[in-house]
């Protein structure tokens, strides 16, 4: 609305918006198609169940005083659930409880045993028992959501044009909260492209993105419009020709959160996106580096879904070489503007001898 001239007042805002819309000067808000809306509803319900399923167990353990969350990364993981179910079965010896740890747990038996001392009152044990039963119930409901999501994806039109799914670009371990069906194959069939080729995006993130933005990228005229809708591009708060702020706008966009999650997983990635993230992190700090890398990933997803471009992964070494060449060209151009010419430095000891 700020680009449309005209006077308005706060009282008549609604009338002014309706008039601009009737003239065709305002675009409608993004609304995905009916099938994508159904997929989005199922996935948001599934995410809500996963978010709420363990909070009662956390609260019960806090009241009982065992500090299990300090020694295991996930209290409802393999080790956490073994210990909790053993406590409910009547085991109280910390060493025997700690011996139930999974072999992949980073902390040893002695470290875990020191955190398992608490007061196991009957009322607190009853609360923990009900929390575990609720967790099992929520897990069953998550499985129901997976069944509905798989059936809905199977009803989408096939856009793969007979192409076969390429091998997974990066082998991944089993993710506890991942859907129980082959998400990657289903998404390749309905979109005709494999989003997991982009570093940082796994099948779960790709499913979230499809459910939030859909498959029709023509809703946004360009990738710049797409990044602006996500809230991942710099702001443009200008007054009188002076830039007041270029801060990224605040918005509760689930697709943008998924892109940030993908960017946050590139800390140790030996790829061009990983090198970009680390360079931005050194320049701007971690929060801004995540946003900048998420912006880059969003543009890649836009091109893949709209144009079906075959993206070739660039290695970290190739990214650094291109960055060095680009920096060198910029320096040479600046030197020519100032009337100078760059010369490569001679190796140590190769210069002309200077008489003493």
- For residues 57 and 135, is the Cβ–Cβ distance under 8 A? yes
- pLDDT level of residue 17 (50, 70, 90 thresholds): confident
Which range has the worst mean pLDDT, 72-86, 205-219, 227-241, 250-264? Answer: 227-241
Give the β-pairing of 237-239 and 242-245: antiparallel
Look at residue 174 and tell me whether its pLDDT is greater than 60. Answer: no
- For residue 37, the number of C-alpha atoms closer than 13 Å in the C-beta half-sphere is 5
Q: What is the distance between the alpha carbons of residues 127 and 132, in angstroms, rounded to a whole number?
A: 9
pLDDT in tens, 54-102: 888 988 888 888 888 889 888 888 899 999 999 999 989 989 999 999 8
pLDDT in tens, 228-249: 999 998 887 878 778 788 788 8
Per-residue burial over 320-340, b = 16 or more CB atoms within 10 Å of its CB, e = otherwise = eeeeeeeeeeeeeeeeeeeee
Q: What is the distance between the alpha carbons of residues 260 and 119, in angstroms, rounded to a whole number?
A: 41
Q: What pLDDT sits at residue 125?
A: 92
Q: What pLDDT sits at residue 53?
A: 84
Q: Name the pTM for this structure.
A: 0.80
Q: What is the mean pLDDT of residues 320-344?
A: 88
- pLDDT level of residue 312 (50, 70, 90 thresholds): low
């Amino acid at each position: 609305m700020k680009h449309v001239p005209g006077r308005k007042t706060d009282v008549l805002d609604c009338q002014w918006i309706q008039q601009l819309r009737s003239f065709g000067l305002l675009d409608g808000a993004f609304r995905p198609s009916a099938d994508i809306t159904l997929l989005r509803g199922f996935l948001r319900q599934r995410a809500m169940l996963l978010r709420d399923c363990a909070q009662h167990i956390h609260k019960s353990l806090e009241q009982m005083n065992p500090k299990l969350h300090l020694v295991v990364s996930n209290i409802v993981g393999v080790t956490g659930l073994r210990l909790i179910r053993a406590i409910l079965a009547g085991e109280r010896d910390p060493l025997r409880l700690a011996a139930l740890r999974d072999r992949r747990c980073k902390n040893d038996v002695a470290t875990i045993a020191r955190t398992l001392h608490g007061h196991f009152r009957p009322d607190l044990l009853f609360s923990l028992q009900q929390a575990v039963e609720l967790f099992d119930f929520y897990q069953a409901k998550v499985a129901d959501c997976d069944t509905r999501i798989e059936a809905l994806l199977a009803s989408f039109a096939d856009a793969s044009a007979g192409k076969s799914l390429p091998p997974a670009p990066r082998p991944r371990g089993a993710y506890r909260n991942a859907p129980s069906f082959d998400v990657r194959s289903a998404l390749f069939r309905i979109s005709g492209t494999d989003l997991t080729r982009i570093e940082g995006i796994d099948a779960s993130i790709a499913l979230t993105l499809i459910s939030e933005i859909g498959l029709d990228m023509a809703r946004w005229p360009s990738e710049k419009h797409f990044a602006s809708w996500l809230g991942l591009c710099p702001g443009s708060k200008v007054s009188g020709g002076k830039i007041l702020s270029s801060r990224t706008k605040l918005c509760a966009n689930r697709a943008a959160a998924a892109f940030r999650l993908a960017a946050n997983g590139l800390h140790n990635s030996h790829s061009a996106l990983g090198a970009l993230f680390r360079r931005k992190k050194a320049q701007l700090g971690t929060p801004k580096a995540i946003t900048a890398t998420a912006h880059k990933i969003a543009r890649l997803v836009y091109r893949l879904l709209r144009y079906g471009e075959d993206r070739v992964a660039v290695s970290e070494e190739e990214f650094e070489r291109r960055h060095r060449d680009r920096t060198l060209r910029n320096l040479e151009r600046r030197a020519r503007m100032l009337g100078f010419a760059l010369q490569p430095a001679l190796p140590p000891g190769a210069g002309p001898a200077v008489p003493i």
